[in-house]
Amino acid sequence: MRDGPILLRFRSVALPLLILILGGLLALLGGCREIPSDRLYALYLDHPPTRSDWERALPRLVTVRGGQLHKRVSLADIDNDTVHVTTASCHHGASLPDPVAVAVRAFYTDSDLYLELSWEDATRDDRMKQWRYDGELWQNSQALEDGFGILWDASDSFRDFSCSYACHIDNFGVSKANFHATNRMKLVRDDAWLDLWNWKAQRTNRYGFADDRYLDSEGMHRDLPGELFRPNSRYFVAGDDPSAFSEGDAPLYDNDGEAVENRFIPVDTRAPGYITERPLGGRSDIVANGVWSEGRWRVMLRRALTSGDPHDVDFAAHGEKGITFGLSLMDNTLREHYASNTREQLVLLPRSRSQISR
């Protein structure tokens, strides 16, 4: 059967129109620049991020390896019981814990950068060296704390920057997927420095900040000199630092900041292991608040894009070209920590390509 005149007219119009649409799509796709998927992208907001914004943001998963795992133990660990610790065998022994995946999300506004870090942690460790009064004596828990550090290659000094590449020159071991490091950190090179953000679950989180430091070939330095963290210990104040928190010691202040000496103390009164001074100047640039819930830490950080401090990374200056960073994670430890050994990069997407309004 022959096509009718209406169908012929439709074909004469539809075919060129279809070719035009396809051509336009190809031109549009050809003009779009591919966005690499192996980076952390900060989207622009015209407002501080809300909980809804964080939930909609796609995370960059940063894997950290080689730390010390703190976990609840219900049965004897085959590699930690007396028999296995004292018996040589090639079939068991100390091994590095499984890697930890940290979900990192980012936003920025006209003035500030916002980061959120979230990771699984079976134990909430935010009561470092906490004291408890048993009715007669003060007992110390000897507990430590969770935490993390972010290192920023602020001066673009390392081509393939990662935590394991840039630092730990004296005390790290790395073998392909296995990485093990301690907290005595310094850089390999004399002509470089890194911006360091250090969040501590008890000592800084209680006051809503992360300690702002920097790292060079001589070690770790404070942006502003001075010690923020002092042991809440009578022995320490008396000059007996090695005996701080040991049997017979006691705190100076309780959780409310009240002196505990020469007054009635109820049973089960708690006191912090450390007294934290609120930071000033360059040490107070990073606002940080963390919450542990249902086996997971979630920490939100905020810092000005440009702080004006010579030891701080300038995010506004790096912008779309990106800045590399490394991540370390502490699980109830001050020393042995997980660390990233891959190249990670934060990129601030241009406003026209990333803006989200209320």
**Average of per-residue pLDDT across 141-169:** 78
| pTM greater than the 0.85 cutoff | no
Answer yes or no: are the C-beta atoms of 99 and 338 closer than 8 Å: yes
Cα 310 to its chain centre, rounded Å, is: 22
Which tens digits make up the pLDDT trace of 300-309?
999 999 999 9
What pLDDT band is residue 96 in, cutting at 50, 70 and 90? Answer: low
Top-confidence residue, 72 or 271: 271
pLDDT of 356 reads: 56
Q: What is the mean pLDDT of the chain?
A: 79
Query: β-pairing, 344-348 with 40-44?
Result: parallel
Q: What tokens appear for 211 in the block?
A: 């300690």
pLDDT at 12 over 90: no
**Average of per-residue pLDDT across 285-296:** 97
User: In sequence order, which residues have a C-beta less than 8 Å from that of residue 97 and are 6 or more positions away?
Assistant: 66, 67, 68, 69
Radius of gyration of the chain (CA): 27
pLDDT of 193 reads: 86
pLDDT at 339 over 70: yes
User: In sequence order, which residues have a C-beta less than 8 Å from that of residue 196 and are 6 or more positions away?
Assistant: 149, 150, 151, 152, 212, 213, 214, 215, 220
What pLDDT band is residue 4 in, cutting at 50, 70 and 90? Answer: low
